[in-house]
Structure 1
Amino acid sequence: MSAARVFAVEQAAEIPAWLKAHIGEGDGQIAPVVLQRARALYLQKVSEGKVKNPCYFAMDATRPGGFTRRFYVICEADQTFRAVPSGHGSGRNVAGVNFTNGIRCAKNFSNAMDSKLTTGGPYVTEETITRFKGYYRNGAGKYVAFNRSFVQFDGEGETANARPRVIGGHPAVVLRVACRRKDPDSPYANEEGYVPFGTLVDYAAGRSNGCTSWSQSDAAKIIPMMKEPSTLYIYPESGDIAAVAQAVKAGKSPARVGLYWNASCLKEIGAPKFWPKETLEPIIEQYKKDHPAPPPQPLPLCKGQ
């Protein structure tokens, strides 16, 4: 029996005192319901033999984005708890149907394909894929190859389509490719000896396309920890969203009726909304049919090439 499985059997009943000290709604703390569900998911998957990682992960998407710490790395075996910032889904405005989110607070959630929205619920971290994106010049003017790692998440229930949606975790940085540069000596060069070249854009304080994104420095620590599959629980689920929205509509404080939502963001968004894929996907598909993407064009040559 693995150490993680032995630990799960021994610890299933009680949240240890050292971890209870991190429970709360302050900066860097984890809300009780988020920890309870994240821990239950982890212990379940360990007991089933599907997870052996000594650490598990959680995210509270009701908290503000930007630099607020709301993604949690919990390693009960060595009694460590870490909270870091992470991005939430940006959403879209499609054919007059607006399901966009601001940078600070997420109002809209969905499991629809191409919605660019976060879906709360249970996930298991799976394979990590690292892909070459192109070259850029760093702050010192050095010509650097950019490879970005992506951890695939697998879900169940409402999160079951995480793989076709390409939902996972990655650094909040993207290469805006502008042109192709002649570099036949590069191991990444195509058959004609060209490589893509662009500008590296860091959006750690912004939103994602529905994935979980971290700063480059945090991602460098978190992604290796996910090499061994583990669990990730993202709050809120659709049922939480509906219950909070109903309470707000009835003029009740969610906290007073036993529901949780970050108070600061709830005040900002008014009420949250979950858009089921059955509702959004036909709208998005029709929009794509009405606005077909132009045929791909070859990248222009970089100036001086």
Structure 2
Amino acid sequence: MRSRSVLLIMNIFSLFVIVLLASPWSFAAQQSSGIPVWMRAHVGEGEDQIAPVVLQRARALYLRKVSEGTVKNTCYFAMDATRPNDFSDGKLGRRFYVICESDRSFRAISAGHGGGRDLKGIADFANGRRCAKNFGNALDSELTAGGAYVTGETKTSFKGYYRISAKQDAVLMRSFVQFDGEGETANARQREIGGHPAELLRNVCLRKDPRSPYANHDGYVPFGTLVDYAGGRSNGCTSWSPSDAAQIIAMVKDNPTTLYVYPDAADVDAVAQAVAAGRSPSGVGLYWNAACLKEIRVPKFWPKQTLEPILAQYKKDHPAPPQRPTPTCKGR
């Protein structure tokens, strides 16, 4: 009888240990000493790998937020915006990372970067589709700002209808995950920076459909052509393919986690200084994707203190034309 009692106590203790080890707090304590062995094959600068500095910072941010009690999610994110996005053959670069150490899961997926803007004759901080040269945290700059973020609430909104066959339409409901930043990214909410599917409706018109639950007070709904711009740029947000976005949004709904975006302002400035001095960034312990650095030559960070006054003056000098009413659909 005594041996059975001892065995029961041991089983209960074992179960308690298993539950404890599965918790994110215990996970943080176990993994704080270094990168797990299983993950090392995913670390590097090759395809589907994450650069060491990007992983180190993303992991440190996650473990810090777990220890603070801000995050309980067992997965975290990272993005390397120095890597190429859109290759000439139509293939997308995988530079956004979904890391779940508790179940030894690592995924690299595509993600867009901020397109920036070209203020003709005043300042050109526009980015191409393939590589990002310009970064910044200014309001209305449409630039990516590297640094630390925590995912916030998810909002889903109706965008309109689009045609999927000769006799059938579909509804576009697009979700947006708000990011909250700190330091250089502290104005993320003000900038409306977050993550969302890379899809939208173009050539929108208003179609009469009073039976639709989304109809306006006159019985009209927006109708357009669905566009997937996963290989394109964003307004500074992080955009994913619709299929990847659905998985990511499900992961963070009511369960926030961290995202570290590389490079931050100090990284951009350090690499720019090294290039200006004729030195190889890697030779002085700095990281930038070699293919993109060759293409952009010198990266630049545009701080809000410098760029926001320029943007404000440009807006004052170039007021937006009056918004035209959305036309009524014809023949649809």
Relative to the length of structure 2, the TM-score reads 0.90
Aligned AA (1:296): Q
Aligned AA (1:93): D
Provide the C-alpha distance between the structure 2 equivalents of 1:139 and 1:245, rounded to a whole number of angstroms: 50
Is 1:32 aligned to 2:52, yes or no? yes
Aligned AA (1:57): F
> Which residue number corresponds to residue 20 of structure 1?
40
Provide the C-alpha distance between the structure 1 equivalents of 2:56 and 2:166, rounded to a whole number of angstroms: 46
> 1:133·1:146 contact (CA, 8 Å) conserved in 2?
yes
Provide the C-alpha distance between the structure 2 equivalents of 1:269 and 1:302, rounded to a whole number of angstroms: 43
The CA deviation at 1:201 is 1.1
Provide the C-alpha distance between the structure 2 equivalents of 1:122 and 1:139, rounded to a whole number of angstroms: 43
> Which residue number corresponds to residue 54 of structure 1?
74
> Which residue number corresponds to residue 90 of structure 1?
115
Report SS of the residue matched to 2:268.
helix
The CA deviation at 1:118 is 0.3
> Which residue number corresponds to residue 4 of structure 1?
24
The CA deviation at 1:200 is 1.0
Q: Is there any run of 5+ residues in structure 2 with no aligned partner, and where?
A: 1-19, 87-91
RMSD between aligned residues: 1.3
The CA deviation at 1:297 is 3.1
Q: Deviations over 1:113-146 (max 9, x none)?
A: 1101000000000101000011111256521111
> Which residue number corresponds to residue 181 of structure 2?
155
Larger radius of gyration between Structure 1 and Structure 2: 2
> Which residue number corresponds to residue 267 of structure 1?
294
Provide the C-alpha distance between the structure 2 equivalents of 1:177 and 1:189, rounded to a whole number of angstroms: 18
Q: How does 1:101-112 map to 2 (within 5 A)?
A: 101-112=127-138
Q: Is there any run of 5+ residues in structure 1 with no aligned partner, and where?
A: none
Aligned AA (1:55): C
The CA deviation at 1:248 is 0.4
Provide the C-alpha distance between the structure 2 equivalents of 1:28 and 1:261, rounded to a whole number of angstroms: 16
Q: How does 1:1-305 map to 2 (within 5 A)?
A: 3-66=23-86, 67-96=92-121, 97-138=123-164, 142-227=168-253, 228-304=255-331
The CA deviation at 1:304 is 4.0
> 1:57·1:74 contact (CA, 8 Å) conserved in 2?
yes
> 1:134·1:177 contact (CA, 8 Å) conserved in 2?
no
Provide the C-alpha distance between the structure 1 equivalents of 2:167 and 2:146, rounded to a whole number of angstroms: 41
Provide the C-alpha distance between the structure 2 equivalents of 1:141 and 1:287, rounded to a whole number of angstroms: 46
The CA deviation at 1:21 is 1.3
The CA deviation at 1:286 is 1.1
Provide the C-alpha distance between the structure 1 equivalents of 2:319 and 2:207, rounded to a whole number of angstroms: 29
Aligned AA (2:109): V
Relative to the length of structure 1, the TM-score reads 0.97
The CA deviation at 1:292 is 1.6
> 1:34·1:60 contact (CA, 8 Å) conserved in 2?
yes
The CA deviation at 1:81 is 0.2
Provide the C-alpha distance between the structure 1 equivalents of 2:196 and 2:141, rounded to a whole number of angstroms: 18
Task: Report the CA distance shift for 1:100/1:149 in structure 2 as closer, same or farther (over 3 A).
Answer: same
The CA deviation at 1:284 is 0.9
4+ aligned runs moved over 6 Å, structure 1: none
The CA deviation at 1:19 is 0.9
Aligned AA (2:44): G
Q: Deviations over 1:206-242 (max 9, x none)?
A: 1111110111111111111121100000000110011
Aligned-residue sequence identity (percent) comes to 70
Provide the C-alpha distance between the structure 1 equivalents of 2:270 and 2:233, rounded to a whole number of angstroms: 25
Provide the C-alpha distance between the structure 2 equivalents of 1:161 and 1:247, rounded to a whole number of angstroms: 29
> 1:89·1:207 contact (CA, 8 Å) conserved in 2?
yes
Provide the C-alpha distance between the structure 1 equivalents of 2:268 and 2:327, rounded to a whole number of angstroms: 46
Structure with the bigger percentage of helix:
2
Q: Deviations over 1:280-304 (max 9, x none)?
A: 1111111111122233332111114
Say which is worse superposed, 283-292 or 24-33, in terms of deviation.
283-292
Report SS of the residue matched to 1:164.
coil
